[in-house]
Structure 1
């Protein structure tokens, strides 16, 4: 009987160990990605202690796991997201799906709605809203592809799709889909370029893109 218990205990401990290792690896990924994108920070320790954007996403990942469990876990998930909002100025609904190496620079004023979907290696600046235009319980928030950059103060409203490696200019208001590898600026946002950003002579030549 004791031998069986040990086996059972060991079997249960393994997933916990794997979960902890995965969480540590994810934190390191986030820190490395943040270091690459923030020239004002000189160390992982400084980034870990002084980045509200990272604090917000770390809390969100935990709250999102709770939200996925449903039932009685959803209220604590919402309360956790509200605590993060108070502490960081970043509001992320626990239902939002966010990919790897996500980074919010400065953080203050960012709002991400319940049905938003964000890919890997996405970067947001302060004041960005991924909001909805419907009161129905449907997919009502944006879908953001991989490696997208969204400038300060931009508003993306409704179930729009932003393709991979697109750039959204500062203060743009996006209410229509944005193709991959393009640059969108203005109110309402218009696509200024549909060629890969890497091939453009100066993708930030337009003042509306300054972030």
Structure 2
């Protein structure tokens, strides 16, 4: 019964965060992110009981069917949502909190061959945007957002927005979110490089105007 209730929460998470979801039948049949999470919850349960081969087989079948690779050892919390999902990779020692949203092409990976904890821990209410790479055994704090295409190699405090390669914090201590108010506007993140270029362009225009004034005088 607990397994069924967890899956129901995963389904509710889709309706809360994806305006394209029309009904339960569509979600059950047509959402590969949900399929991957369901199969992962089965394989993870077997993995925790000490089995190795069968969970890996289930994981490989899931990858073949959905394009999403989740190691059976990874821990995924309640109301997880993998949107679109193709190319998502979640490593063995990854820990994903509650209400986490992961978009296509994202990776929760390691950076070496060391044993033990080598993948990231993702806090509650985190959004990991398309193509983002979070690599290493550190924590991404709750309510944070990882921008599309970012490469994050060190710890992220709670309530932060990270963008760029390598990832850098561009917003800190933003308004704390509650579970049903997750900010999914991952396409509207700050771009400090663009801001600097805009300032530089404006400065050049200002200098050109001054030169024209000098030439006219």
- TM-score, normalised relative to structure 1: 0.84
| 1:80 has 2:58 as partner | yes
Per-residue CA shift, 1:114-152, capped at 9, x if unaligned? Answer: 000010000000000000011121200000000000000
Q: Is residue 2:170 matched to residue 1:192?
A: yes
TM normalised by structure 2 equals 0.81
Cα distance change, pair 144–205 in 1 and its aligned pair in 2 (3 A): closer
Could you report, residue by residue, the CA deviation over 1:15-70 in whole angstroms, capped at 9, with x for unpaired residues?
Answer: xxxxxx21221121111111111111111211111100000010000100111111
Across the aligned residues of Structure 1 and Structure 2, the Cα RMSD in angstroms comes to 1.8
1:26 counterpart SS class: helix
What is the distance in 2 between the residues matched to 1:104 and 1:168? 14
Structure-2 residue corresponding to 1:3: none
SS of the residue 2:52 aligns to: helix
Distance 2:37 2:21 in 1: 18
Q: CA deviation at 1:195?
A: 2.1
In structure 2, runs of 5+ residues without a counterpart are 178-182, 193-217
> Is it true that 1:36 corresponds to 2:42 in the alignment?
no
Task: Classify the secondary structure of the residue corresponding to 2:73.
Answer: coil
Partners of 2:143 and 2:176 within 8 A in 1: no
Matched with 1:68 is 48
The CA distance in 2 between the partners of 1:24 and 1:144, in whole Å, is 24
Aligned to 2:147: 169
1: CA distance, partners of 2:9 / 2:189: 31
**Does the alignment pair 1:98 with 2:76?**
yes
Pick the aligned partner of 2:26 from 46, 57, 79.
Answer: 46
- What is the SS of the residue equivalent to 1:184? strand
In structure 2, distance between residues paired with 1:99 and 1:160? 17
Matched, 1:126 2:110: no
Greater Rg by CA: 2
Q: 1:59 aligns with which of 39, 61, 64?
A: 39
